[in-house]
């Protein structure tokens, strides 16, 4: 099937998914919330045994799309709830993909882009890549990504990254365990494919069973915590600070926080 925000190519049992909005630095749109779970479901049901996800152009994924952010200001509470559900569903589809998934991070992966990049089984990143959970800077809440981040890096480091919203590089992401390997830009896709080929050579039954058991250990806790994340994400969108942060970001000015 066709997708408006990404490309899918399958060769030699390896699926390559390319986020394909280079003019928007592959920013996440409402349509991408739908396309990513759909393409992962297609690959899961198809002949490919490993998937690679990367970005077109110079960025992996620059976070939320500006047009999607503008739409938030006019959404009803019911629409907000559905939007949050779709966002969480996108992250769940990456985290719970039943086959090995490699993220080839070719450039900045910010906010939701950091989530997409680091929820894969393997994350290869170029030295110039940037990461960051920047939601607090504009009155958002990094709720869904926090569910996974705390399990990846531990509570203390998760607190520091989420509460500051600061940008950090590949070396720090590697040290924290969010990136598997730093790879020169000129060989990124070559090394991602070599890793994929090494996985294709393994038992597909064993790989599927290994992923299944890894996901089962935390399944109930993750599902519970994501429900909390959905509730909190919807709640913060009704606050004055959320509206101020959103407007300030869109108007490219410093926010004037009210603390409400």
Residue 45: other Cβ atoms inside 10 A: 9
**CB-based contact 15:51 (threshold 8 Å):** yes
Q: How many residues does the chain have?
A: 260
Instruction: Give the burial class of 137: count Cβ atoms within 10 A of its Cβ; 0-12 exposed, 13-18 middle, 19 or more buried.
Output: middle
Q: Which of 67, 135, 186, 244 is catalytic?
A: 135
DSSP assigned state of 234: H
Report helix, strand or coil for 74.
Answer: coil
Picking from 125, 111, 148, 144, the residue whose alpha carbon sits closest to that of residue 55 is 125
The Cα 130–Cα 87 span in angstroms is: 21
What tokens were used for 154? 């531990």
Residue 135 known to be catalytic: yes
CA 94 to CA 222: how far, in whole Å?
Answer: 14
- For 127, which DSSP code? T
Annotated catalytic sites, by residue? Answer: 135
């Amino acid at each position: 099937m066709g997708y408006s925000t990404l490309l899918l190519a399958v060769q030699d049992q390896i699926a390559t998914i390319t986020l394909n909005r280079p003019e928007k630095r592959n920013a996440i749109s409402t349509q991408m919330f739908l396309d990513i779970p759909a393409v992962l479901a297609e690959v899961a049901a198809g002949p490919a045994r490993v998937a690679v996800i990367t970005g077109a152009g110079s960025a992996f994924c620059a976070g939320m799309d500006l047009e999607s952010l503008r739409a938030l200001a006019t959404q009803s509470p019911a629409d907000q709830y559905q939007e949050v559900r779709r966002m969480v569903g996108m992250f769940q589809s990456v985290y719970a993909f039943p086959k090995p998934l490699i993220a080839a991070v070719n450039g900045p992966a910010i906010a939701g882009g950091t989530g997409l990049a680091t929820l894969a089984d393997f994350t290869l990143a170029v030295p110039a890549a940037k990461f960051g959970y920047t939601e607090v800077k504009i009155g958002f809440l990094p709720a869904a990504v926090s569910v996974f981040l705390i399990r990846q890096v531990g509570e203390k480091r998760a607190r520091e990254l989420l509460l500051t919203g600061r940008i950090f590089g590949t070396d720090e992401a590697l040290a924290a365990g969010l990136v598997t390997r730093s790879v020169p830009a000129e060989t990124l896709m070559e090394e991602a494919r070599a890793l994929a080929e090494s996985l294709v050579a393994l038992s597909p039954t064993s790989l599927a069973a290994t992923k299944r058991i890894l996901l089962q250990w935390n399944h109930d806790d993750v599902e519970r915590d994501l429900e909390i994340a959905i509730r909190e994400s919807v709640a913060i969108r009704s606050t004055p600070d959320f509206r101020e942060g959103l407007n300030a970001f869109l108007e490219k000015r410093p926010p004037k926080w009210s603390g409400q």
